[in-house]
Amino acid sequence: MKEFRTTAASAVGLHARPAALFASSAKSSGCKVTLSKVLANGELTPPVDGASVLRVMTLGVKFGDEIVVRVEGPEEDSVSAALRVIVESVDH
C-alpha cells in the first residue's frame, strides 16, 4: 500500500472536473484507491472510494484542503504519482 498527503491546488478543489479526472484515473488504474479529507482538528474523514466521482465530490475538498490518498495494487508508485498530479494541478 502506498499512502500520501497532498493539498488541493485547483481553485475549485476536487469538484466536478478535477473529481472526474481523479475518479477516472483511479478506476482505470486497476488499484484500490481511497481518499480522506484532513479536518481542521487533524482527524481524517472516513475514506471514500476514489474511483467514484460522486464519493470524491461528497468529501467537499476545497482549494487548500489537505487529503490523504491510499493506493493498493499493481503499479502503486506510478498510480500515486498520477493522482498526486491531478490533485496538485491548478488548471482543470
Q: Which of 2, 15, 37, 70 is catalytic?
A: 15
Write down the residue that cell numbers 461528497 correspond to: 58
- Amino acid residing at 23: A
Does residue 92 have an active-site annotation? no
Give the gyration radius of the chain's Cα atoms. Answer: 12
Yes or no: say if 61 and 13 are a contact pair by the CB < 8 Å rule.
Answer: yes
Helix (H) or strand (E) holding 13: none
Positions marked catalytic: 15
